[in-house]
Structure 1
Amino acid sequence: MSKETNSKPFSQRRYASIPNAISSEMQLVVEQFPSLSLDTVKSDVPANIEAWRDRIHAVNSRQKKKVKAMRKQFNVSVELLSIVGVTVRKITPKTINERFQNKVYIDFHGGAYVFFSGLVSIEEGILIADRLGIVVYSVDYRMPPSSPFPAALNDACAVYDELRNEYGSNRIFIGGTSAGGGLTLALLQQLKQQDKPLPVGVYLGTPWADLSNTSDSLLINEEADRVLVSYEGSLSAAAQLYAGSHSLTHPSVSPLYGNFDGLPPTILVSGTRDLFLSDTVRVNRKLREHAITTQLEVFEGMSHAMYLIGHNTPESLAVYAEIKQFFLKI
């Protein structure tokens, strides 16, 4: 993110008001979140690969402080592993739910396919492990600028295959938020294409399932979303960086254009101010068209992944409670 300040005071912006229907805790998160102006976001694009590396390092360094604090707050142990050459962190909660004994969750982090590598990749994995009471394997997949598509998908497939051999597909849940949700969906479609056993349940948190500038909420929720703000700028640049020489509508880059037949039961989460609300709704509709069991949870007034950013809020607790109950019913 740029260090430049907003070109227009928040109080004068189109979506200055904080939604009244969200909790007081989430209102405080929204009020304190350092959102950039629309003009700044649209012009805030790294000029070259070196600038991308500087941006990635800066974002990851800031996020690392939060993840370190979360490790202290939540009672989990973290073990660094290498699974078929892919960096993975195994997150074990103090107490494992008896219904999740001998079961695991594979986590794919978000970050627009360019951010949140290293320790910061376990942010949501910590919450899943603690709040569901399940062992989590968080995959630190390769990303641009050094490793564009299909490196991340190849890493996801390799780790899944190895853990499937160890646990069996009927004991594996998978999921992620944002880019992690998109990668999860691309992985499922590739496994299906290769006729491999699928996991038993899936969580897609505001999945970035269409990297092209197509979804309606990219327009409707522009600036309303305090996190992403706009598709134009660094987000669209990250999409191009990830896709590399491939089309943004390639089914494994944007899995919304892939095959949804025979996928596992899936819970989806988004918010009314989420830039990726339409991606989430479109994925849910595709799944329903193929008779897949889904549960779509849309939270009032929530920007992109605010349940993860504001993890100490009632909304965040509700998100992971819904995921837990959905998985327990499978």
Structure 2
Amino acid sequence: MSDHKKGVWVQTRLIPFPSSISPEARASLERGVNDDGVPLNALHTMPPTDDHAAWMTIKAAADGHYAAVVKGLAGTLRADVQTVRTGDATLHVATPETLLKPGCAYVDFHGGALVFGGGEACRAQARMQADQHGALCYGVDYRMPPEHPYPAAVDDAIAAYRYVLERHAASRVIVGGRSAGGNIAAAMLLRAKDEGLPLPAGLILLSPQVDLTESGDSFQVHQMVDVVLPGSLMRNNELYAGGADLSHPDLSPLFGNLSGLPPTFLQSGTRDLFLSNAVRMHRALRRAKVDAELHVFEAMPHGGFQGNTPEDQDLAAEVSRFIDARWR
């Protein structure tokens, strides 16, 4: 046997759902696996990056799924929403039923593995954010591959940010994104900093996809443990990059010059495939002297428990606290 130790052998075993979380959260995890314990999402594989027709078929199916979810939310959303364009960028501007924070704006970047989640899902998420924070929310419906690979999404993001700055003081703006949206939000702010634009009052990164090289520890340790995202998104990353270097800060903001970024809120979970992204981004921000706080939730998979669990409510309350403090 070689003297060079390459890692830790892990025997095949069942990893139980813990009793340390709420019954609602445990039920959410249980819904994410088959009777044999294999995550439902493990059955889905992405096509080769050059098979654009297959990607478009998957996008159409995803849009249908999101449309069904949005229809289910129809009775719970109160904010009005209008769609505007600035250059090539599309924004869904949501106005809450009661505007509690006039002059304030939340700029939201949706998730969806850099390929999905636009359209009606993006509009609905903007309305949800407006309802939660009592402020205008600009949901950025950035262009995505295979039709529009990098740098289209970042170009749209910076155009949207400029649009918001024409209407709001930077000190009254919060930028946020979940998963792939965290990638776009962070990459956009790095470009905004390079272009000399005023930076917002705060940045929110929820389970952010800030390292498209997938070099972090949790990409190995949490495979098939995260019931929402059980495996690599490398094919999505390569489709998005369109041949560009995945380690470039425009694609993997973790590797950029983070000095000067605004106070940042990061979130992940102990079963999140992207846990290393949040942990490493937090440390990188701290090394860059950025005020950053990291919230890691017990047994939470990628994107949260996706329901009205006590843990999801706790996270929402922490995000609201962070935003309110920045706006004050």
Same structural fold, with TM-score higher than 0.5 when normalized by the shorter chain? yes
Answer whether contact 2:39 2:227 (CA < 8 A) is retained: no
Residue identity opposite 1:139 in structure 2: V
Matched, 1:86 2:89: yes
Cα distance, 1:123–1:299 mapped onto 2, change above 3 Å:
farther
Q: Percent identity over the alignment?
A: 37
CA shift for structure 1 position 122: 3.6
Give ranges in structure 1 of 5+ residues lacking alignment.
1-12
Matched, 1:28 2:31: no
From 268, 282, 285, give the equivalent of 1:284. Answer: 282
Could you say which residue in structure 2 is the equivalent of 1:133? 134
Could you say which residue in structure 1 is the equivalent of 2:249? 251
CA shift for structure 1 position 74: 2.7
Point out the structure with the larger helix share. Answer: 1
In 2, Cα distance between equivalents of 1:214 and 1:201: 27
In 2, Cα distance between equivalents of 1:85 and 1:184: 17
In 2, Cα distance between equivalents of 1:37 and 1:303: 14
For the pair shown, which has the larger CA radius of gyration, 1 or 2? 2
In 2, Cα distance between equivalents of 1:79 and 1:146: 25
Matched, 1:273 2:276: no
In 1, Cα distance between equivalents of 2:40 and 2:32: 17
Matched, 1:328 2:327: no
In 1, Cα distance between equivalents of 2:14 and 2:131: 34
Q: Secondary structure at the match of 1:208?
A: coil
For 1:37-186, list aligned pairs within 5 A: 37=38, 41=42, 44-47=45-48, 48-97=51-100, 100-186=101-187
CA deviations 1:31-74 (Å, max 9, x no partner) are: 22367947984882224111111011101211211122223213
CA deviations 1:223-270 (Å, max 9, x no partner) are: 110011011xxx110000001120110110011111101000011111
* TM-score (norm. length: structure 2): 0.89
Cα distance, 1:40–1:91 mapped onto 2, change above 3 Å:
closer
CA shift for structure 1 position 200: 0.8
Cα distance, 1:68–1:91 mapped onto 2, change above 3 Å:
farther
Residue identity opposite 1:92 in structure 2: T
In 2, Cα distance between equivalents of 1:302 and 1:139: 26
Q: Secondary structure at the match of 2:83?
A: strand
- 4+ aligned runs moved over 6 Å, structure 1: none
- Tell which deviates more after alignment, 202-211 or 127-136: 127-136
Could you say which residue in structure 2 is the equivalent of 1:219? 220
Answer whether contact 2:22 2:311 (CA < 8 A) is retained: yes
* TM-score (norm. length: structure 1): 0.89
Cα distance, 1:182–1:29 mapped onto 2, change above 3 Å:
same
Report the number of matched residues: 311
The CA RMSD over aligned residues, in Å, is 2.0
In 1, Cα distance between equivalents of 2:41 and 2:94: 37
